Amino acid sequence: MTDSRNRFVRLFRLAAAAALACAALLAVCVPAQAACTVGACISAGPRLASVDTQKSALLNPLLGGLLGSSLSLTAADWNSLATGNVQLLGFLNALQASTNTSTPSQALAANATLAQIAAALGVQAQAQANTSLSGALQTLASQLSGTGATVRVGDLLKLTADTGTLGTTTVNALDMLTGLVQLYNTRNVLTTPKPVGISGGVLGQAGLINSVALYAQVIEPPVYVCGPTGSAFRSAAIRIKLKLDLVTLSPVTSVLTVLPGVSSASVAISKLDVYLEVARGEGTLAAVDAVGRAVTLQVAPGVADAYIGAIDDSVFFNRSRTLSAADVGYGQVGSLVLNGSVFAIEVKSTTRGQAPFTTSVTMSGTFPQTRTVSTSTAFATSMANSLASNMAVRTTPTLGLLDSVVSPVLKTLVVNTLSPVLTPVLTGVADPLLNLLGIGLGQMTVTVDGICDACASFKLTKSADKADAQPGATITYTISYQNTGNTTLSDLRITDPTPAFTTYAGSACGTLGAGLTGCNVATQPAAGATGTVEWRFTGTLSPGANGSVNVTVRIQ
């Protein structure tokens, strides 16, 4: 009997040793080991280096107009937003708390007010000890409290990378705000926007423009992305209407008074309506070199079209309507006094941009990093020249018998008068306003916010509560698990067969790892039988988190 017992003890020790040595084979997880994947976080936004008084005076009415509300931040506040980067994962955790959700993914999908989002950004800014940014965001949250409609951050930020990879990735506060305002406008502002008044002096065009009434509407919001190679991102698609009150232009009319039948003539040009539509710029993440810290993007700016004249608001601000030259009618720009009679001068013109070629852009080194991709450095100037050459001019009412004589000369006079105006209107008024929304005429600004390097690794170890035991005795194994990678793990289960020369006696869930929400023994053999025990988990196991399960067997 003693020899037999010793034989069983030796066999048990061998089985226990085998179990301890081969724990990774006896207890497995799905996925126990996933391949490493790399990606990047990319935004298409303004990324202003700083905000001066002039830009601040534009940002308040521009973004306030898109919200159908009012904003009144100081230049210092806007500058804090422009230069403030907030840790993305920390922001999502703060938003998770304010939206009463359980995970960052749920927070992305939750309906949240702009005030809640600004406050969550502020919480993370405070955690980073950025007091100026935190203060600006608190002020912003207070001013946004009246915008009660909600948005989903996940409609702006497409997060296909695992949240565990975002620990060092930041998001620019002004980029995030601008994108959310555009998202809000698309989702919630359904009627024609109210005009925003801006003085020519604020635009740096005091000698040319008295004031501008700006109408803006977002046709499509931007999409930022954190994901692997092949992920797509885009800028917004915007329509703006500029009603320009010009400093009155009174060209010399001697070319008219020498015409037969013309005894006197004067021309005054004092207003102009300009319409712009910039389609979304698009890009894809082409390659990521995590070791060399390099990211390659394929970027194509959006097509920009411009019109002068008159387009009915019900057409121009209809998001589902595709604009064409047929939608453009004549709009009044001034008046002609001819032989003592007054006539309205009306013009119309269109220019349609060409689809730009895709450009490859590589950024390397330290992130975030920003690059502007341009179709042409002279894009706005070329557009202005095209509007001038395509311009049609007429008078209302017609000039009667003098029409065939006067109209051709009048057209040349009006075109020559407006031509010098069009370039500064596009480059000095339209382009700066669009740039504040992260869009440019013939260009697209993109930022790589960081690289996401995701490796999933699941480590298992197995230990016993005693080194040896007699037949009939029990032994309890503890299987410890740990996420040693940098990405969260989901759909986890651990399986473990009863060792040789033992039968099943019982099992239980032990310590639950951080991020997991539950554990249960899904399958088990009958007491006294042999077979496999399986533990299944709900929730996700956070990077670095660990826990345990246990199983008890009886030695035969």
Partnered with residue 225 across adjacent β-strands are 42, 158
Rounded Cα distance, 8 and 469, in Å: 9
CA 133, CA 432: separation in Å to the nearest integer?
24
312-365 pLDDT tens trace: 999 998 988 999 999 999 999 999 999 999 999 999 999 998 878 899 999 999
Q: What is the pLDDT along the chain (556 residues), one digit of tens a residue?
A: 444 444 444 444 444 443 433 333 333 333 333 456 688 999 988 788 889 888 999 999 999 989 988 899 999 999 999 999 999 989 999 999 999 998 888 999 999 999 999 999 999 999 999 999 999 999 999 999 988 899 999 999 998 766 666 767 889 999 999 999 999 999 988 666 678 899 999 999 999 999 999 999 999 999 999 989 999 999 999 999 999 999 999 999 999 999 999 999 999 999 999 999 999 999 999 999 988 899 999 999 999 999 999 999 999 989 889 999 999 999 999 999 999 999 999 999 999 988 788 999 999 999 999 999 988 768 889 999 999 999 999 999 999 999 999 999 999 999 999 999 999 999 999 998 998 888 888 889 999 998 887 666 778 888 999 877 888 899 999 999 988 776 677 778 888 898 888 999 999 999 999 889 999 999 999 999 999 899 999 888 888 889 999 999 998 8
pLDDT at 456: 61
Q: At residue 433, what is the residue type?
A: L
pLDDT for 12 equals 46
5/321 Cα distance (integer angstroms): 88
Both tokens assigned to 27: 């207890």
Strand arrangement of the beta sheet that strand 294-300 belongs to: 232-234, 282-289, 294-300, 359-364
Q: How far is Cα 361 from Cα 297, in angstroms, rounded to an integer? A: 5
The 8-class DSSP code of residue 5 comes to: H
Give SS3 for 299: strand
Domains of the chain: 2-30+465-555 (2.60.40), 39-452 (no CATH)
Q: Which two tokens stand for residue 133?
A: 């940014």
pLDDT at 70: 85
Helix, strand or coil, per DSSP, at residue 246: strand
Distance from C-alpha of 259 to C-alpha of 411, rounded to nearest angstrom:
14
**DSSP-assigned letters across all residues of 180-203:** HHHHHHHHH--SPPPPEEEETTTT
What pLDDT shows up at residue 486? 65
Amino acid residing at 75:
A
- At 225, list the tokens: 């992305």
- What values do phi and psi take at 341, rounded to 5? -100, 145
Q: What pTM was computed for the model?
A: 0.77
